[in-house]
Amino acid sequence: MEQDIPPAAPRAPLEPEDYYLEGENLVFTAAYHLKRGSCCGSGCRHCPYGFGDADAPEDPVGDAPPAG
């Protein structure tokens, strides 16, 4: 039995404000995550959704650097 799989939604190309390079690593900014529209649950450095931060606001806020 064949299963119908819907095509993946097209993704917009990355813009300069979406990421920066740290060594060989691509680091996504809060701007990218806000465009993505939801938290992926991976504990991203610039997560505007407060993943893993009990004191984080429920609404996303800008691209603030990590505390500390």
* Domain membership flag for residue 8: no
pLDDT at 7: 76
pLDDT at 68: 40
pLDDT at 59: 47
Total domains present in the chain:
1
* Domain membership flag for residue 41: yes
Q: For each successive 10 residues of the chain (68 residues), what is the average pLDDT?
A: 73 88 93 90 89 57 48
For 33, half-sphere exposure in the C-beta direction (CA atoms, 13 angstrom radius) is 24
* Domain membership flag for residue 26: yes
- Cβ atoms of 32 and 18 within 8 Å: the answer is yes
User: 6-17: string of b/e by CB count within 10 Å (b at 16+)?
Assistant: eeeeeeeeeeee
| Whole-Å CA distances, 40 to 1, 2, 4 | 32, 29, 25
